Amino acid sequence: MLVSVDGLDHRYLRQSDQLGLKIPNLRRLLREGLWADGVVGEVPTITWPSHTTMLTGVPPSVHGIQKNQVWDYSSIKVKTLWDEVAAARRTTAAITWPVTVGAPVTWNLPEYFEKRQGGSMDLAAIAKKATPGLIDEISKRYPSFPQQWVDDRTRTLATIYLIREKHPDFLALHLVDLDSEEHDTRPFSVASKAILEYTDELIGQILNAMPKEAVFALVSDHGFVSVEKTVHLPAGKMTPFWVTAGDPTEEAELERLSHDPANGIGRRIPAAEWARFMPGAPPPLAAYEPAEGFLFSPNPTEGRYGKPFEIGTHGLWPGRPGYRSVFLLWGPGIKAGQLPEISMLQIHDRLKSVVLSSGH
C-alpha cells in the first residue's frame, strides 16, 4: 500500500511535536516503521515529475516527465514499477496517481481532470479514463462516492473498496488536499496543519482496512516553502528558483548583490551540486538560490519587487537545505529505525523489493 501525501514536507514529521500536530497514525508509523531523515528530490521538484521518479528510479531528464499535467502513460520513456509488477503477473490499482492514463494498471482511477477545485478533480473527467465499471462498483458500496469532486475523502473510499474487494498486490494512492491548502495558506499554517490531521485520519482508515500481511509505504513528492515577495535582479539569468551568471561580469555582480539581504539572494549552489542535478546542462560560472521568503522574478516589467502568485510554493532547487520530502516503510518484515537522508532515486528499488518479494 503506497500512499503519497502531496506536499508533505519532511518537517511535518521531524518537528511534529514543535508543530503541535495531532497525527496519531503517522506517529505510530514513525515509531514502528523505517523512515528516512528526509528525501532529496530531482529537478524539477514538482508533482508529476517527482511521482514518476519514485516509480522509475531515474530523474525527469531521463524518464521524460518534466512538467505537470502530462496525462498519458505512453509519455514515460522508461519502464516503471507498474510494468514490473504487471510482468510478474501481479495485480495493481491506482487512485489519482499521476501519469497513469493508459497505464498497465488492473484497477485504475487515473489522475485526469478537466476542472479543478483546490485539490479536488472532476469525477466526470476521471470516469472517461477509468477502468470500465469501477466507479459504478465503488458507488454501489459507498453512495457518497459519486459526488462532483474527487477529494481525499472519496479517494480514500475508493482505496478501501479496492483493498477489501479486489485485493491488489500493489495499490498506489495520491492524496492532494494538503498541497492545495499549502499553496493557499502557506506550509505549517493552522489550516495546513488541520488538513494534515484529517489526512492522518484517512491514513488510519486505510491501515484498518489493510490485510495483516501488507506493507505500508508513505512518500511525498517535494517539500514546501513560504513566499513573501518576488525580486527582479539587475544581473544574471533567472528562473523563479535560481539565478545563474554566464560571464565574469555577471558573476561579480551577483556576488556583490548577494551581500545585501534586500536582494533576496540566498545560498550559492556548489558546482558539484549543479553537475549532480543538471547533468548535461552547461555549468554556469555561479548559481544562487533565492533567500528564505523570496522567489526570483524573471520579468523586469514587474519592477524590483512583486507579489508571489502563491504564498506557499515548491519547485525549488533540490539541494536547498531543509527542503525535503518523505519516505517511510511499515509492516511485517520492516524493522523499525531511521535511515539517513536519501535520494528520491532510491525509492523505486526499495518499493520494488517489497512489492515483488515472495511474501507480498
> How confident is the model over 127-185, as pLDDT tens digits?
999 999 999 999 999 999 999 999 999 999 999 999 999 999 999 999 999 999 999 99
C-alpha cell of 243?
539565478
Q: pLDDT value at position 358?
A: 52
Range of the domain at 165: 2-224+320-355
Average pLDDT, the chain: 97
274 shares a domain with 127 = no
What is the mean pLDDT of the segment spanning 187-195? 98
Residue 357 has a pLDDT of 87
Instruction: State the SS3 of the chain.
Output: CEEEECCCCHHHHHCHHHHCCCCHHHHHHHHHCEEECCEECCCCCCHHHHHHHHCCCCCHHHHCCCCCCCCEHHHCCCCCHHHHHHHCCCCEEEECCCCCECCCCCEEECCCCCCEECCEEEHHHHHHHCCCCHHHHHHHHCCCCCCCEECHHHHHHHHHHHHHHCCCCEEEEEECHHHHHHHHHCCCCHHHHHHHHHHHHHHHHHHHHCCCCCCEEEECCCCCEEEEEEECCCCCEECCCCEEECCHHHHHHHHHHCCCHHHCEEEECCHHHHHHHCCCCCCCCEEEEECCEEEECCCHHHCCEECCCCCEECCCCCCCCCCCECEEEECCCCCCEEECCEEHHHHHHHHHHHHCCCCC
Q: How far apart are CA 61 and CA 319, in angstroms?
A: 17
Is position 77 within any domain? yes
CA–CA separation, 323 and 317 (whole Å) = 9
Q: Are 298 and 329 in the same domain?
A: no
- The answer on 298 and 153 residing in a single domain is no
pLDDT at 360: 40
pLDDT confidence tier of residue 301, bands split at 50, 70 and 90: confident
Q: Which residue has the cell 516503510?
A: 329
Sign of CA dihedral 39, 41, 47, 48: negative
Residue 26 has pLDDT above 80, yes or no: yes
Q: What is the mean pLDDT of residues 304-332?
A: 97
The mean per-residue pLDDT over the stretch 23-37 comes to 98
Are 187 and 298 in a shared domain?
no
Question: Mean per-residue pLDDT for 275-301?
Answer: 95
Regarding whether 348 and 209 lie in a shared domain, the answer is: yes
CB 265 within 8 A of CB 243: yes
Whether 106 maps to a domain, the answer reads yes
Judge residue 234's burial from the number of C-beta atoms within 10 Å of its C-beta, 0-12 exposed, 13-18 middle, 19 or more buried.
exposed
For the chain, give the percent of residues with pLDDT over 90: 97
Same domain (yes/no): 20, 92: yes
Shared domain check, 338 and 295: no
**Cα–Cα distance between 147 and 127 in angstroms, integer?**
12
Taking the C-alpha atoms of residue 323 and residue 222, their distance in angstroms, rounded to an integer, is 8
In a domain, 183, yes or no: yes
Domain count of the chain?
Answer: 2
Are residues 24 and 172 located together in one domain of the fold?
A: yes
Average pLDDT over residues 199-215: 98
Which CATH number is 101's domain given?
Answer: 3.40.720.10
Amino acid letter, 266: G
Mark whether 52 and 178 lie in a shared domain.
Answer: yes
Alpha carbons 156 and 145: distance in angstroms, whole number: 10
Residues 8 and 89 grouped into a single domain: yes
Strand order in the sheet with 149-150: 116-117, 120-122, 149-150
Answer for the pair 355, 333: CB distance below 8 angstroms, yes or no: no
pLDDT at 302: 80
Same domain, 230 and 220: no
Compute the distance between CA of residue 299 and CA of residue 130 in angstroms, rounded to an integer.
41
pLDDT in tens, 94-124: 999 999 999 999 999 999 999 999 999 999 9
Inside any domain, residue 308: yes
Give residue 227's identity as a one-letter amino acid code. V
Q: Residue 359: is its pLDDT beyond 70? A: no
In a domain, 360, yes or no: no
Q: Would you call 300 exposed, middle or buried from its count of C-beta atoms within 10 A (0-12, 13-18, 19+)?
A: exposed
Is 296 part of a structural domain of the chain?
yes
pLDDT(228) > 50: yes
Shared domain for 205 and 108, answered yes or no, is: yes
Instruction: Examine residue 272 and state whether it is found in any structural domain, yes or no.
Output: yes
pLDDT at 303: 86
